[in-house]
Chain A
């Protein structure tokens, strides 16, 4: 991690470890679900969602791998923006999961699908397969609750939107897992509609998170002003930075975000301040300001 700010290296290592754990636990969940799903449509949906849940963690690890690379002849600005791209992929996965859940649950309700859950294979009619499914679904809920809980504060500290989206994905995973378990128990009581209704309600929350993340990811890729985590509002550190740069006679300030870093373009700079001087907030967060460039425009085609 030599090409990364020293202030965040330990946290990044921790985040990387958490994402490897996520892949491990998620893979076990996907495998166990595959064997337990039988012909249950509710379990199949939960399985598809768990597969989708692998995307943000993988995107984070790939992006972090590139972020550490030095600029090359063919990529002279370095690879900080790979993180923005990974964020877009994660946000799209989250939104896709929400939309899939709406489609799937609505279809089940429209067709009045009555799920059939019989005896557990190998054990026989002494064990209702529904109980096996509930056990598997509860197992699928535990790792996302713990990992998501650990990731969120780390994502805020690292200003890491991929990690933050992954924490949201874990929230979506455990919520759909619980809805599935509720649904299977509901089927036991004869309420065939229970899991579809629960999944529909939960999907609204997932779609909202996915929509906000996708908007922020898009804004980041079109060089929008840095946004707060999980919101389309301008980040408060970016606002303070803009004001602070004016103390150095910056003139027109343009801020954009590449992954976790802020890049600033200004007209001029009085004196010879260091990057740390130009950062208005806590010194330990000054790594966030990656570059300040003064521009001499030859010709401007876009204003």
Chain B
């Protein structure tokens, strides 16, 4: 079971892609998604507290949260600049194996 937090209030297209991304991550680990929705702040705090494994939303690379959580690269397209918000995941800091696994999945999806 992968506990995923979806940031509420995103565009409809983004919501579809967020769900698809979370399912890809869970499938790669032969797990299912346990979803919850919330504000960016509430979900990031839950991530820091270890209550969720992955937060999916639309954030810029230079988000203030990047100091407190580890952000993945852009899920759909290449990162162009650090200010444009794009769909990406966030994981707990120091979860390097988990982060690298998700990065591999993103990279394979782009090929």
Chain A residues within CB distance 8 Å of chain B? 113-119, 124-126, 128, 130, 187-188, 190, 192
Interface residues in B, total, Cβ within 8 A = 15
22 A–B pairs (Cβ distance < 8 Å), ordered by A: A114-B92, A114-B94, A114-B95, A116-B70, A116-B95, A118-B70, A118-B72, A118-B103, A119-B73, A119-B100, A119-B103, A124-B103, A124-B107, A125-B100, A125-B103, A125-B107, A128-B96, A128-B100, A130-B96, A187-B94, A188-B96, A190-B97
Instruction: Name the interface residues of B74-111: CB closer than 8 Å to any CB of A.
Output: 92-97, 99-100, 103-104, 106-107
**B100→A115 contact, CB < 8 A:** no
Evaluate whether A114 and B99 lie within 8 angstroms (CB atoms) in the complex, with A124-B107, A125-B107 already known.
no
How far in angstroms is the closest Cβ of chain A from B47? Answer: 13
Q: How far is the CA of A119 from the CA of B100 in the complex (A)?
A: 6
- Indicate which residue in B72, B94, B97 contacts A115 across the interface (CB closer than 8 Å): B94
Residues of B within 8 A of A114 (CB): 92-95
Minimum distance in angstroms from A44 CB to a CB of chain B: 14
Would B99 and A118 count as touching, CB distance under 8 A? Answer: yes
CB of B107 within 8 A of CB of A192, answer no
Q: Which residues of A contact B93 (CB under 8 A)?
A: 113-116
Other contacts beyond A126-B104, A187-B96: 11, CB < 8 A? A114-B93, A114-B95, A118-B70, A119-B103, A119-B107, A125-B100, A125-B106, A130-B96, A187-B94, A190-B96, A190-B97
Residue of A nearest to B108 (CB): A125
